[in-house]
Structure 1
Amino acid sequence: MKYPFSVNTGATEDSDETTILEGFIFERSDDPTVLFLHGNQETDSQKDMHLFANILLTKKLSSVTFDFSGFGSSTGDFKNSTLDKRFEEAKDISPFLNPESQLLICATGTNVIPAIKLTEFYNIKTLILFAPNVENQKQDEEENKNYLSTIFEELNIAKHIENFTGNLLIIKGKNDRIADKPVTNLYVNAFSNTYKKELLVIPNAGHNIHKFLKDNTDAFKLMMSKVEKVL
């Protein structure tokens, strides 16, 4: 079953804007143990995750999807959406998750960064990162290499990555020129203390990984064969 919900996040110290986050709970009889964080492109929304959420229901896993402020059906201005704000909004969803269970978090694009920060607040068994990326990459190869060398410290996620001992599955498209090989390797190599770790490269897929998986049954089955090993 799929149930809609709304969360009023209220004003913050940094903003007087009151935001209503719209989401869905994909639930069987148990409280959700899966949280989905959609991508950071303006056209991205929780709908990108609904096929995956429905499949997880068949594995007896209940989940939560929602739109960040400025995305999809949630209120707010896309231009005001920042990684820090999305992190706080992800924490606002916590009442819908089972606090006594180990969680699975699936995140996309640069929103893998708030997902990584959530490891400090939740008992997370598995992180699944789709096309993980960082903002403001440089055009010059050498300049970008230097930029990436310190980016996790600047984002304040280096310690979270070091301390994470659960399962990690990274999924990206072979033809993805946004979340390209250098940044993918950055994430893969940084997680050095995971219980299980795997990189799945989907042939022929670009950066819009969820649309490709939705439209290509064989690729989706390949992904699920890897997901089932870390549930």
Structure 2
Amino acid sequence: MNTEELTFVVGEHRLAATKVLGDDGRAPSVVHLHGLGPTADRHGVRYLLDELAEHGHGSLTFEFSGNGDSTGVLEESTLGIRLAESRAAAAQLGADEAPVLIGTSMGAHLGAALVPELRPRALVLFVPAAYPAGSDDDRFYDTLAKPGNHPDSPAFAGIREFDGDLLVISAVHDQVVPADVVDGYVTNAVKARSVEVVELDCDHFVHRWLPAQDSILEDVHKAILQVVSASVPRR
């Protein structure tokens, strides 16, 4: 496994990123989109991405503007800004494979909303949030609506167009995202080739809890590897 640190510019901000590559040096096809919150960063999912790299699946993990080593102020960001930054991150992936989008919380909303554009082969959504239509310009911690099972959510509109493999990792004790949001994702995944939901006995902050759960983590690794490896179609 090898890593490469890089930055890329989106608008007025420079975003910090890490490529996690297998020994074969193949260009990454997996990107992680982190969630909302001042402590969210590109490092928290390395325990998942390192395992994928060991099986030959390279990835890109990065920080949205206002988080980690990226420039910007979190409170000035919006879903619209993060959608643009997600597109730019996906553009850093290799061109030979359809991408895999791994999203956590707000990152899951972003990944699902971008399905019609990015045409991913697989979605892995941890504790997925969903926001209502018309929220793209609402600033975080100001006017942005709380996540919920909003029928008009762009995430649900996107997931209705998804024809790959969907893996949802939910938290039984999620104190941030209502439980019926997972139902919204599953119900709207009408074209998905496969749908699997894994429930974990933890709260919303799954990436703090899961690394220490040896047997459960092994099962999650297997589930992720299965959808990532199921097919690697050309674009």
Q: What TM-score does the superposition give when structure 1 sets the normalisation length?
A: 0.86
221-230 or 67-76, which deviates more? 221-230
What is the aligned-residue identity percentage? 22
Shift of 1:115: 0.6
Work out the CA distance in 2 between the residues paired with 1:158 and 1:63. Answer: 25
In structure 2, do the counterparts of structure 1 residues 94 and 134 end up closer, same or farther at CA, with 3 Å as the change threshold? closer
The residue type paired with residue 159 of structure 2 is I
Question: Does residue 208 of the first structure (1) align with residue 187 of the second (2)?
Answer: no
Equivalent runs, 1:1-231 vs 2, <5 Å:
1-10=2-11, 18-28=12-22, 29-135=25-131, 136-137=145-146, 148=149, 151-153=150-152, 155-203=153-201, 205-231=202-228
The residue type paired with residue 17 of structure 2 is G
The residue type paired with residue 194 of structure 2 is K
| Structure number with higher helix proportion | 1
Give the aligned CA root-mean-square deviation in angstroms: 1.7
Q: Which residue of 2 is the match for residue 141 of structure 1?
A: none
Instruction: Give aligned pairs, total.
Output: 212
Q: Which residue of 1 is the match for residue 142 of structure 2?
A: none
SS of corresponding position for 1:210: helix
Work out the CA distance in 2 between the residues paired with 1:8 and 1:182. Answer: 36
In structure 2, do the counterparts of structure 1 residues 158 and 109 end up closer, same or farther at CA, with 3 Å as the change threshold? closer
The 8 Å contact of residues 83 and 113 in structure 1, kept in 2 or not, is answered as: no
Work out the CA distance in 2 between the residues paired with 1:84 and 1:165. Answer: 24
The 8 Å contact of residues 84 and 114 in structure 1, kept in 2 or not, is answered as: no
> Which of these two proteins has the greater Rg computed from alpha carbons?
1
SS of corresponding position for 1:186: helix
The residue type paired with residue 129 of structure 2 is N
**Unaligned stretches of 5+ in structure 2?**
132-144, 229-235
In structure 2, do the counterparts of structure 1 residues 173 and 94 end up closer, same or farther at CA, with 3 Å as the change threshold? closer
The 8 Å contact of residues 105 and 126 in structure 2, kept in 1 or not, is answered as: yes
**Unaligned stretches of 5+ in structure 1?**
11-17, 139-143
The 8 Å contact of residues 83 and 111 in structure 1, kept in 2 or not, is answered as: no
